[in-house]
Amino acid sequence: MASAKVRVDVAFDGPLASRPLEVMALKEATSIWAAYDVDVNALHSRNCDAVDAVRLTVTMGHGVDRAIAAAPLGSIRFLDGVPEPAIVLYPHAIAALVSATPPGSFPYVFDSQGVLRDFILGRVLGRALAHEIGHFLLRSQQHSAFGLMRAIHPTTDLVDPARHRFGLSPDDVSRLAAMTSSFRQPPSVLSCGD
């Protein structure tokens, strides 16, 4: 019997500032989507197994493309109302947002030679990634009034260890359920190269 899960394979096109930051971002996005039976994974160039997955490419941008109506932490293009399988995240904007947050909000971020700051950056980057994955999976440019798919999240929510403000709204859950069948792809074998 086939699993009811939707699998999303994310391929980072170019490294982030550090490999640990990429791992933390992916772990955060994976944790957010796990509640909805969506399995988010890293796609590695040597994956050779048969897969039934949505594949998304994630690149790092230096600034927001003004042609895209999206939040400044990430973006995804839509062509004729259909999302392209390519996400752009803006780590410089995320770092500026975290750095500009008043120290009383999370004073520990600037301690320990930047280790905890990088942990927070990974969390925020992962939440931005989860939001953009949501636009792709929901096949919608629209934002919700609350939850993961709201247009703007307060910085304090973005850095908070608790994820309860990053769930899907009931309407988004219904939309995801309706879209699930469109993500089923026939299994294919990826070439590993020799």
Range of 22's domain?
A: 6-178
Position 169 in a domain: yes
Q: Say whether 116 sits in a helix, a strand or coil.
A: helix
CATH code (residue 35): 3.40.390
User: What tokens does 176 get?
Assistant: 């995801």
Number of domains in the chain: 1
Cα angle for residues 68, 94, 56 (degrees, 5° grid): 55
Long-range contacts of 154-163 (CB under 8 A, 24+ apart): 155/97, 155/98, 155/100, 155/101, 155/105, 156/101, 156/105, 156/106, 158/97, 158/123, 158/124, 158/127, 159/98, 159/101, 159/105, 159/106, 159/109, 159/120, 159/123, 159/124, 161/123, 163/31, 163/32
Position 186 in a domain: no
pLDDT at 187: 47
pLDDT at 29: 97
Position 1 in a domain: no
Position 191 in a domain: no
Question: Whole-prediction pTM value?
Answer: 0.83
Position 183 in a domain: no
Position 114 in a domain: yes
pLDDT at 118: 80
Position 157 in a domain: yes
Position 35 in a domain: yes
Q: Which helix (H) or strand (E) holds 119?
A: helix 115-138
pLDDT at 96: 83
Q: How does pLDDT run along the chain (194 residues), one tens digit per residue?
A: 344 589 999 998 876 657 788 889 999 999 999 999 999 998 865 454 545 788 999 998 876 555 444 446 999 999 999 999 999 999 888 888 877 766 555 545 445 446 677 888 899 999 999 999 999 999 999 999 999 999 999 988 998 889 999 999 999 999 999 988 776 554 444 444 44
**Is 48 within 8 Å of 14 (Cβ atoms)?**
no
